């Protein structure tokens, strides 16, 4: 007797035109419906439920977020509306329809452990130091409380060739632009994390969501550096000659405090047998190769 082909899964990707969403959509193994803020307002509960009822996805992947870290200090309500309250309603809708929710979070859920030098495990207690981090951590808790079939993916320092329309580029592009304009580069050297290429994160998540190993995962490129070290690698790999001055977070004077160390261990992801992501230096080299034909 012939075996019926397996049903093709349907994925909804919210925030599909952002850096991560753009790279994730073509890597998902099934039918993909990409939705933008123009297509669906996540803060409207009726619109979210109506969309899920109509499309009947197997999984919803939420790449959308309020990610203006400094503005969140004075726009607390806006940050929580998108990063927490809307996420709760999305989680409830996914639960009621029996579909999986994949929700992206951030290394900024950490920061209170002064002097820490060991990468954070998923089991380590979070402690955000800014409003954005608190809003994202709240969203995590609301997903865990309301949708049993969930993946929460914490990642860090994202950059991708598509750029981020709402924020106007990414750190790599900013450094290359300023260096090309002959501007003085003063970059923070007392914040250590792992810059991560959206292509690599998308590949990893596309593998993870095909499993039923629900839960919390850290997914970043390997290694760590300060933003000053990252800037130096960007300029060096691009073949540009530019002096970069290291400064402190206090000298930079951002409205929101940042973690001094927020490197994430990918142990839970790797324990499932998945290949570790490549070092951040190799990922940066791949990004610089990819961007040339796009931005020439």
Catalytic residue numbers, as ranges: 132
Residue 86 contacts by C-beta under 8 Å, 6 or more apart in sequence? 42, 43, 48
Q: Answer for the pair 158, 112: CB distance below 8 angstroms, yes or no.
A: no
Q: Can you say whether residue 21 is alpha, beta or left, with left for phi > 0 and alpha for psi between -120 and 50 degrees?
A: alpha
Main-chain phi, psi angles of 44, to 5 degrees: -100, 105
Residue 27 contacts by C-beta under 8 Å, 6 or more apart in sequence? 202, 203, 206
**What DSSP assignment string belongs to 66-122?**
---TTGGGT-HHHHHIIIIIHHHHHHHHHHHHT-EEEEEEEGGG-B-STT--SPBPT
DSSP label at 57?
A: -
Q: Answer for the pair 186, 243: CB distance below 8 angstroms, yes or no.
A: no
């Amino acid at each position: 007797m012939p075996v019926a082909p397996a049903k093709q899964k349907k994925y909804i990707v919210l925030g599909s035109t952002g850096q991560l969403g753009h790279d994730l959509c073509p890597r998902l193994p099934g039918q993909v419906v990409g939705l933008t803020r123009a297509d669906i307002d996540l803060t409207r509960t009726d619109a979210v439920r109506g969309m899920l009822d109509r499309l009947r996805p197997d999984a919803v992947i939420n790449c959308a977020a309020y990610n203006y870290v400094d503005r969140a200090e004075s726009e607390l309500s806006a940050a929580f509306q998108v990063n927490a309250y809307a996420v709760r309603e999305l989680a409830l809708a996914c639960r009621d329809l029996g579909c999986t929710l994949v929700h992206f979070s951030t290394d900024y859920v950490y920061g209170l452990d002064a002097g820490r030098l060991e990468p954070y495990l998923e089991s380590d207690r979070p402690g955000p130091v800014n409003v954005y981090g608190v809003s994202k951590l709240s969203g995590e808790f609301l997903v865990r409380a309301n949708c049993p079939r969930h993946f929460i993916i914490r990642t860090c320092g994202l950059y991708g060739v598509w750029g981020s329309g709402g924020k106007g580029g990414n750190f790599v592009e900013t450094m290359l632009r300023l260096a090309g304009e002959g501007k003085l580069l003063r970059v923070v050297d007392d914040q250590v994390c792992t810059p991560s290429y959206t292509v690599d994160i998308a590949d990893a998540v596309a593998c993870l969501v095909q499993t039923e190993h629900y839960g919390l995962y850290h997914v970043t490129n390997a290694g760590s550096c300060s933003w000053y070290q990252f800037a130096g690698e960007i300029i060096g790999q691009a073949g540009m000659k530019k002096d970069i001055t290291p400064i402190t977070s206090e000298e930079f004077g951002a409205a929101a405090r940042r973690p001094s160390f927020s490197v994430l261990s990918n142990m839970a992801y790797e324990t499932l047998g998945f290949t570790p992501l490549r070092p951040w230096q190799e990922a940066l080299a791949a990004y610089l190769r990819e961007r040339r034909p796009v931005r020439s």
